[in-house]
Structure 1
Amino acid sequence: MSLEQWQIERRRQFGRAQDFRMTNAGDEPVFSEFLVTNPSSRRTYLVRIRGTEPGANVCSCPDFASNELGTCKHVEFVIGRLARGRKTAKLLREGFEPP
């Protein structure tokens, strides 16, 4: 496993284990904008989901802006939550189709 892949997996594992709060701030159930709040720090970040692969999504957190991995714990948290829902998991697998 490359160092880059290891860093991505760390963020995936850590993000999916968090007790963040997620609010869909957009119009679509999956490929949308989500507000992700850490109840401990009370910080909220905007996450835009467009796919499951690193680089497809965007987060407003400092880690995403600086790590050059195309993901962060907030993105991975949202993808993990969406992947657990029956309807949202199906939509996530089908992929993003721009309007």
Structure 2
Amino acid sequence: MIGSLLYLTATRPDIQFAVCLCARYQASPRTSHRQAVKRIFRGFSDADHASCRIDRKSTSGTGQLLGTSLISWSSRKQASVALSTTEAEYVAAASCCS
């Protein structure tokens, strides 16, 4: 179900945040996660989105290429809460360089 939703995010960027939030729990899903995915399929209002429990930490993703080949990649939540998108990008860039 998550794979189908991830495919849809190319044409529906409004659901991307909710889908990525649900994708974090694919390793050990619970009934509440399945209900959230079903709610995304049905369409949800801002009230449903506001009721999600979110820790407000950004997710950083990096990928290192050698020529045209991907040799290393990483995706994880940042250790601190960024106050802006720019700050989150600086933290991600520093993490990638280190």
Give me the TM-score of the superposition, normalised by structure 1: 0.25
In our comparison, the structure showing a higher alpha carbon Rg is 2
Which one has the bigger helix percentage? 2
